[in-house]
Amino acid sequence: MQLHSFHNKFLARKDLMNTTLLDNPVWHALNSHHRHLAIRGKIAARYQLETLMAAAMSEYNTAEFTDLKNLVETHEIIGVMGTSPQAGPDWEILQTFQVPQMICKELKHTEPVNAVPLTSADVPDMLALVALAQPGPFLPRTIEMGQYLGIRQDGQLVAMAGERLHLPGFCEISAVCTHPDYRGRGYGGALTAMVATAIIARGEVPFLHVVNEVAARLYEKLGFRFRKEIPVTVLKRLA
């Protein structure tokens, strides 16, 4: 209880941090904790293949997209997060949408579950669970972005959650999902809280992006609060 109280007081002080980094989280992750996962141009960057199909730049103007073109294969599809881009004629915009971003203001106490760290050996099972539960993007090398926890029942991976975008002072919780046959047991909330606790223990603030209202209500119960909507654009590089 004392440790939990300390975490809450620490997060309250963290409110003084520069949360504007979260307006362009991919860019700040690729230029800090995930520099080793980046493919870099002169003024643009992207994640390595099979890690995360996302690219970023500081201003998202035509010149930066011209630089990004050299990092993306013809007809490859990639996403950018942070602002409405000025992509230019080399790109086809396939989809634009707003994703709600939430930040943990005060982590509520949640009983931990019997979870285990997941490794590269677990990736086939993780990909199978993601394909079934559809929590959002998860690729064969996404596990290299941070720590993932999972719950197994009779050897089957039935729930998981982990860390994705990691930037100065903040770490994203992602891939929170539960097998349909095991929902309603509190696995998603418990795993989210366990991942968040580890992030807080490092002196960082957990944040996440919400895929639906059900998930948003779960995260609110854990102490996450809406920060703002973040623009996301999915593009295809033309020949």
Q: How many domains does the chain have?
A: 2
Shared domain check, 112 and 67: no
pLDDT in tens, the chain (239 residues): 343 443 444 444 444 468 999 999 999 999 999 999 999 999 999 999 999 999 999 999 999 999 999 999 999 999 999 887 888 899 999 999 999 999 998 999 888 899 999 999 999 999 999 999 999 999 999 999 999 999 999 999 999 999 999 999 999 999 999 999 999 999 999 999 999 999 999 999 999 999 889 999 999 999 999 999 999 999 999 98
Shared domain check, 83 and 140: no
User: To which residue do tokens 């730049």 refer?
Assistant: 57
pTM over 0.85: yes
Shared domain check, 44 and 31: yes
| Helix 187-201, helix 213-222: angle, nearest 10 | 50
Which pLDDT does position 11 carry in this prediction? Answer: 45
Shared domain check, 94 and 12: yes
Shared domain check, 117 and 224: yes
Shared domain check, 90 and 110: no
Instruction: Please write the tens of the pLDDT for every residue from 175-203.
Output: 999 999 999 999 999 999 999 999 999 99
Which pLDDT does position 17 carry in this prediction? Answer: 66
E strand or H helix that includes residue 205: strand 205-209
What is the domain-level CATH number for residue 123? 3.40.630.30
Which pLDDT does position 112 carry in this prediction? Answer: 84
Shared domain check, 71 and 131: no
Decide if 161 contacts 148 (C-beta within 8 A): yes
Shared domain check, 143 and 182: yes
Shared domain check, 133 and 76: no
Which pLDDT does position 83 carry in this prediction? Answer: 80
In angstroms, rounded to a whole number, what is the distance separating the alpha carbons of residues 85 and 97? 12
Which pLDDT does position 12 carry in this prediction? Answer: 45
Give the range of the structural domain holding residue 72, as residue numbers without chain letter.
Answer: 3-99+232-237
Shared domain check, 129 and 61: no
Strands 77-81 and 224-237, sheet pairing: antiparallel
Shared domain check, 154 and 134: yes
User: To which residue do tokens 């002196």 refer?
Assistant: 203
Shared domain check, 117 and 83: no
Count other C-beta atoms under 10 Å from residue 83's C-beta.
15
